[in-house]
Amino acid sequence: MATALWPLRTALYNKLTGSAPLMSLITGVFDEVPDGQPYPYVTINSITETADDAHDHQGLWCTVQINVWTRAPGFKQAAEIFAAVDAVLDRQPLAVAGYTDVSIRCDHHMELRDPDPDIRHINAQYRVWLTRQT
């Protein structure tokens, strides 16, 4: 099975950071959050891959965890940022190097309270289907 882990992470990062409306709401998009990074921000967390081959091609379906982090009271700011993330990703074109027929959709998302009572975040899971270029 070929892996799309890094090409997919790179494509997601480029798509999110290329959105002016999203970037106007946050301080950045991160794989690893730098120490002292101010809120709010978005993280691209774990990606899982499952083979989804057909007779004539290699395919994958992946799940991707995207998190919105904020220190604003309540969930209003987190929800607004998530809406901007979702507008960029859900059912939108995504160019992943080495893959064709890429589709992405939001599977589910949930609001979470962090152990730190001042931090709110939204955890979203996206499903991505890819066909490996031949």
pLDDT at 99: 93
Vertex 13 angle, CA 7 and 14, to 5°? 90
pLDDT at 18: 98
pLDDT at residue 91 tops 70: yes
Average per-residue pLDDT in the chain? 94
CA distance 27 to 52: 36
Confidence of residue 53 (pLDDT cuts 50, 70, 90): confident
Q: What is the dihedral of CA 98, 99, 100, 101, to 10 degrees?
A: -170
Q: Could you tell me the domains of the chain?
A: 5-27+39-132 (3.30.2000.10)
Vertex 64 angle, CA 72 and 118, to 5°? 15
Confidence of residue 94 (pLDDT cuts 50, 70, 90): very high
Residue with the bigger pLDDT between 2 and 49: it is 49
Helix 76-89 to helix 5-17 angle (10° resolution) is 120
What percent of the chain stands above pLDDT 90?
Answer: 84
Residue with the bigger pLDDT between 31 and 56: it is 31
* Structural tokens at position 44: 């691209």
Mode of pairing for the β-strands spanning 41-51 and 29-30: parallel
pLDDT at 133: 84
